[in-house]
Chains A and B, each alone.
Chain A
């Protein structure tokens, strides 16, 4: 009987069974950012411990960094303190920081792949729930808490139980106006926000095979929104081509050796799974959320459902939307394009293709926030920044920005954001009454133009 990728990578990284019955798992690549790491470094200092393998940890700053004025010290004193902490901690412990100083920073889940750090067959952990993004390369990647960040720094291992594996086959032909974001929102709307509890998701099928690495990252990124801590795809020629020649990719003979390993960890054709789900992607239309969890999502052609639970009623009341009505025409105030979900070059190309030659509604603030310095430069080389600016968008510096509003990019009062990010939780975008509608980047661009939720297909 064959094995799936998860089983192979897990076994390859198992040190031993611990006294609590869990696995001591080796973490091949550890990624750090400024919000969930300072307490871990403090604990290390208190315990008098060193970083065991500093060359296996890489850091950047993304959550709190301003996207308008980068002059130091930052206007927000505590944000400045957090910046100084990550700079000092990485310097003290010999960890590479992709920083503001050498202009190489960005959202951690965008920096890892574009530097070539993210590779197939790795175990990757980061103090961030969207770490599964790296699974698009055939890595087993997951979010951890700060105590585990400490454990990894000190030992390069964690105590963890293995996951079951659910294979999700996305087969069929994609409809017009449907992108990776719609596939994952559709899946979450069907399986629920805790449907993936205890599972790693293996995404497969011709729709995944034909998808770009950027699209695959979007899908893996939101596995956690469906309750699955891990999401991945088997690596293929597209994966290898993406990694080749990236700064941290193996070179020459090392590359060939790595390639042999990368190919060896792909799921066998007779691999066993704990569950298999088949989705015909031709049944998926552009998606929109209407509520306060990513599960509360519908095809744009559908109407907001009648409430059957207290949570659904709470969502209707919070978003101020009526059951039985379409989301089309729902007014928005902010359009946000960015985040680890949809802040890569392909996302800006897509939104720009809609915005070209158009103006956004005077009632809408448009925020375009590239996921990294590299994404920003690439977009500018292609002239995309000009398209965004001409349309009335603000073209900002990289960062997590309004995905979770830890800098000054925040909703005000009960403003509505059409957002390419990943969570529509209450208060997520910086105001305790702010409202979030999750969409693919093209749908966000269209909402910005019309000042309300609209159907992207009439623009294609």
Chain B
């Protein structure tokens, strides 16, 4: 069974930018596979490396953010494709919490089922947090799921954590299959009465 998630702690990765799409998170050529294995190494690959292979100044290449487990980014994160490969790559790269101004819907759903927690906060507070992490990369961040509170260097922010996700994290049911399958008799009756 899945584990209950009550608290997430770690260092932050400042990933500035709006509309960071799924092709940027994981380019389509890495989807040529029948598994999700190894995707973590390819997360943000084309953002992190120039065509000739030299590393860019992407924050994931910056030593001072080594070991970070929390992504802080801007608006409409994860827009584009429905590929679950995108949250799979992020999770496998070691991240378990993403703070953004907003998320694209399919990405949000795909992340939630994996226990990759997506929370939102307004632009100004995100800017404050980004600056704080850029200045002090070792800043400890902690997220209290029950209270929907994010603590960054002593400041506590009330973040938006959607009810459905919160309850499923707290009772360990964020992977939906067990509950869906438990209703199979109701589904059977329902299916017989469908007009098609």
Contact = CB atoms under 8 A, between A and B. Distances in A.
A432 B84 CA distance: 21
B177 A20 contact: no
Interface in B4-28: 16-19, 21, 23-24, 27-28
Contacts of B175: 147
Interface stretch (B107-115, B130-138, B150-158): B107-115
B2 interface: no
Interface residues of A, number: 83
A85 to B, nearest CB: 5
B80 A129 contact: yes
B82 A161 contact: no
Interface in A399-420: 404-406, 413
Most chain B beta-carbon contacts within 10 A, residue among A22, A159, A198, A404: A159
B106 A129 contact: yes
B18 A158 contact: no
Contacts of A314: 17
B185 to A, nearest CB: 11
Contacts of B104: 194, 197, 227
A430 B109 CA distance: 27
Contacts of A64: 32
Contacts of B83: 35-36, 145
Interface string B152-173: 0000000000011101100101
A158 B176 CA distance: 8
A20 B109 CA distance: 13
Interface stretch (A73-81, A171-179, A348-356): A73-81
Nearest to B179: A18
A76 B17 contact: no
Top-6 shortest CB links A-B: A145-B110, A145-B84, A143-B82, A38-B34, A432-B46, A129-B82
Interface of A: 12-13, 15-16, 18-22, 24, 26, 28, 35-36, 38-39, 42, 47, 49, 52-53, 63-64, 76, 78-79, 81-82, 85, 119, 121-122, 127-129, 131, 142-148, 150-151, 154-161, 193-194, 197-198, 224, 227, 229, 250, 257-258, 261, 293, 295, 309-311, 314, 404-406, 413, 423, 425-428, 430-433
